[in-house]
Chain A
Amino acid sequence: MTRPTRAQRPAKTPETSGRRRDWLGWLYIAPLVLVLVPFFLAPLLAVVAASVFESDGFGGMTPALDLSNYWQVLTSDLTFNLYWSTAKFTFLTWLFSLIIGFFVAYFLVFHVRNPLLGLGLFLLCTVPFWTSNIIRMISWIPLLGKQGLINEALLKIGLIHEPLEFLLFSSFAVVVAYVHQLTIFMIVPIFNAMGRIDKRVVEAAIDAGASRFDIMRLIIVPLSKSGIALGSIFVVSIVMGDFFVVKVMSGGGSASVVGAFYEDVGVLQYPKAAASAVILTAVLMAAVGLILRTVDIRREITR
């Protein structure tokens, strides 16, 4: 984004450099500011403002400094239950997508000898993601249903005598759909981080008699940390910010934080919905902050 401005940069002269540097600095960040202010900061501020307004119950809002919306959200058991349920889905999705993503990336980087083949296989991983998430999600339904392929197959082999009901419209189904949708967000950054590990380090470790487990524990995992952290940020923020998968795959049997404030918007309770949104943003920022605290991504990436 900064490339065009860099090209225009005039030759530096010692006298003007102080002032000009200030001015140039602003120019460098201008494109980002131009995007962030109107499309991110302004809406966010509008939401924050709405969250303290008073509602007339019919979609009307009067400017006020009314913290009761926050109070209502923060003191209700519902909020706790919603966050608990969302956190559960987030954790499970994160765990499974991490395990799968890590090993897929590991295989592609360290087991496929031919780098071109590795890259080809990596691109192959992205093929399922060329279709829309919604299609990828709903295609699980005929598979998992009571009369779905899995149940039919199990019944036929005689492993079960009644269709398994937990497969569809359950937390299980939600996690399956999320893992299917989001594992790619783990594979990509971890693949990228692992790809930059110097293979000679691994060879040296082998020569020095390190076991496979030690290599994994002492070399590969630590050096893939940035990828793991980036992938985790993607997965955590997507699951926490989503409600559609939960709604469809749980058969409406589970609710999510975002789903709950979408319902509030449905009955025009804007201030309360805004307060919930602000709280969710804060929680997400805290979660991302926590991830970044464990891994200094900037250092890892510029390594």
Chain B
Amino acid sequence: MSTTDKTPPQRAVAKTKAGLDRRTLLKGAAAVAGAAAGSDAIRGFPTVWAQEIKDIELRHVGVSYSVVQAIGDQAAKDLGFKVTMQNLDTSAAINRFITQPNTVDIADVEGWQAKLAIKRGVLQGIERKRIKEFDNFLPIFTKGELNGHKIPRQGISPYEALYIAKKDATELHDGVADWLTNIPQVYNADSIGYRPDLVGHEVTEWKELIDPKFKGKAAILDVPAIGIMDAALCLESAGLIKYGNKGNMTKAEIDFTINKLIELKKSGHFRATWTTFDQSVNLMAAGEVVIQSMWSPAVAAVRVKQIPCVYAPVNIKNGKEGYRGWCNGMGLMKHLTGKKLEAAYEYLNWYLSGWQGAFVSRYGYYSPVPSTAKKFMSAAEWEYWYEGKPSPEVVKDPYGVPMEPVGTKRDGGSFIDRVTNISCWNTLMDEAAYMNQRWNDFKVA
């Protein structure tokens, strides 16, 4: 998997120096001195440390939209040790963290997975004061709010799953603490994607997805834990039910939701369901469906094919609608110690230092530390991706491929507009087993 394998050791060291210089220049010596994470070691870095760390390998394991090879390669280049990125689907990933924790160094977890992994004791707490950019984190993650707006806690919000009381705690801690379960690194607000040419009007409400006029032309996400949330957003939007907590439904709420889905399926409503990014892109691009729950980069991928596709702005109105948020963070596995642990902290800090933030921003996700990402983005890019302004130049994806022409405005508006309109977060319900079983009822119906 790792392309860093191909780098001869000498070159790796040379690159380390270069990378370090660049980082030092960027951040200034003060930033380095102020940080706890091996900062003394960094001063002597070029000689001793570089020799010692080049044999270190960090295995960063998680889903493909969060654990990206290009980011690992850049990290390896800047830091001088080996980083191996390994991708698994969501359920395979959590199963691996739980059942084979020693085969993973950095676990890429969502909030609910962090909760689970902490409970199972496979993660070690991350020392808050060793995270240099911690104070620059958006308060969504650290305090559960943004601009005085309380971020809803339906489902498992990143804030809710962020803190633990001590290094080896097995329960989450409500409220700010010195130990963290994971370091948020990428997140987004999911909504509906649609073909404006075939739908014919603007979509701003989830209920459009289950509107009979899209019979046989709609699709829904088939990852039960997430799909049911999208379904819940639709049903609530249509005024059919009001959930106590969409992210933690009661059995009765689950039954209502699934029965409704079955009813819709039996009337031929859903053309298909999708589980992977590619599937959702192909469904839309081939015209198999005209509206479906969708991820932002998937919408962009459809548009790259010159096919019109819009990422619906589903802002909260009258206590309904809103985006379904998710956030992936990096957890340190319990077995990390010594130099490898130091390297892992270096890696976490590198992630927040901006390069990665800018990279993921270019495909439509966000960095929890936008202030550092901004340094690695052009003014035009920043305006387009974060401020929701028309792009003054051609928009390019992270690999430099042109995506949108000059003057394009991002769907859903500014970053603040999006994230303050998140109404629920990806989750693992208490009744997950029951929900799964009922979801399968929907599948075989």
Contacts and interface: CB of A to CB of B under 8 A. Distances in A.
B441 interface: yes
Contacts of A60: 120
Interface in A165-187: 165, 168-169
Contacts of A247: 222, 275
Interface in A127-171: 141-142, 145-148, 165, 168-169
Contact of B444 (A146, A148, A254, A266): A254
A252 B440 contact: no
Contact of B272 (A58, A85, A252): A252
B280 to A, nearest CB: 11
Interface residues of B, number: 39
A268 B94 CA distance: 8
A251 B116 contact: no
B91 A265 contact: yes
A78 B438 CA distance: 8
A259 to B, nearest CB: 8
B303 interface: no
A135 B443 CA distance: 24
Interface stretch (B58-66, B78-86, B186-194, B282-290): B282-290
Interface in B93-140: 94-95, 98-99, 116, 119-120
B443 A255 contact: yes
A220 to B, nearest CB: 39
Given A78-B437, A169-B288, A253-B265, A267 B432 contact: yes
Interface string B243-274: 00000000000000000000001000011111
A76 B265 CA distance: 21
B441 A253 contact: no
B428 interface: yes
A200 B282 CA distance: 56
B401 interface: no
A28 B439 CA distance: 50
A269 B436 contact: yes
Given A58-B119, A265-B95, A252 B432 contact: no
B225 interface: yes
Interface in A205-264: 247-248, 251-255, 259-260, 262-264
Given A146-B286, A169-B272, A85 B444 contact: yes
Most buried by A among B219, B430, B433, B445: B433
A215 B91 CA distance: 55
A78 B275 CA distance: 21
B287 A59 contact: no
B282 A268 contact: no
Contact of B273 (A76, A253, A266): A253
Contacts of A82: 440, 444
A252 B120 contact: no
B90 interface: yes
Interface residues of A, number: 37
Contacts of A147: 286-287
A267 B225 contact: yes
A81 interface: yes
A57 interface: yes
Contacts of B390: none
A109 B445 CA distance: 44
Contacts of B98: 59, 268
- For A141, A251, A265, the residue with the greatest tally of chain B CB atoms inside 10 Å of its CB is A251
B443 A267 contact: no
A268 B112 CA distance: 13
Contact of B432 (A57, A76, A146): A57
Contacts of A59: 94-95, 98-99, 116, 120
Interface string B202-223: 0000000000000010010010
A248 B271 CA distance: 13
B274 A252 contact: yes
Contact of B443 (A77, A169, A253, A265): A253
A263 B272 contact: no
Nearest to A80: B444
B224 interface: yes
A168 B91 CA distance: 27
Nearest to A56: B119
B231 to A, nearest CB: 14
A139 to B, nearest CB: 13
A88 B216 CA distance: 24
Max chain A C-beta neighbours (<10 A), residue from B225, B273, B430: B273
B288 A266 contact: no
B138 to A, nearest CB: 29
Interface of A: 57-60, 76-78, 81-82, 85, 141-142, 145-148, 165, 168-169, 247-248, 251-255, 259-260, 262-269, 272
Closest 4 pairs between A and B when the two form their complex, measured CB to CB:
A251-B272, A266-B91, A252-B273, A255-B443
Given A264-B436, A266-B95, 18 more contacts: A57-B430, A57-B433, A58-B119, A59-B94, A59-B95, A77-B441, A78-B441, A78-B444, A82-B440, A85-B444, A146-B288, A251-B288, A255-B440, A255-B444, A263-B91, A263-B224, A266-B225, A268-B98
5 contacts: A59-B120, A77-B441, A85-B444, A251-B271, A254-B444
